Amino acid sequence: DIQMTQSPSALSASVGDRVTITCRASQSISSWLAWYQQKPGKAPKLLIYEASTLESGVPSRFSGSGSGTEFTLTISSLQSDDFATYYCQQYNSYWTFGQGTKVEIK
């Protein structure tokens, strides 16, 4: 089974900050990685797929990079609507999610 490890598990940031979240796969998954945003009581929302492709309608301040086993999600200038929990997901073999990164207001 492919394991996904996200870091950090939580972070505090201010509006306007640049935020980076890292996701590491236990084996190579090529670019078969997605990022989701989840707010309390809501379903996850797709942000990025194939490691770096922005889903339609998602603000351009979100970007993804990486391939193989190391991936990052970057929010270039954090907005108030971005405070949420973020999950990476590999879909190279079935699905596995990272444990999540909670982005909180500093």
Residues that bind other proteins in the complex, under the rule CB under 8 A:
32, 34, 36, 38, 42-46, 49-50, 55, 87, 89, 91, 94-100
Between 69 and 101, name the residue whose CB sits nearer to other proteins: 101
Minimal distance in Å, beta carbon 74 to other proteins? Answer: 19
Angle at 2 between CA 97 and CA 43, to 5 degrees: 15
**Cβ distance to other proteins smaller for residue 53 or 74:** 53
Contact 23, 6 (CB under 8 A): yes
Least Å distance, CB 89 to other proteins, is: 7
Residue 94: both structure tokens together: 């079935």
Q: What is the DSSP string of 25-58?
A: ESS--TT-EEEEEE-TTS--EEEEETTTEEPTT-
Q: How far is the CB of 106 from other proteins (least distance, A)?
A: 22
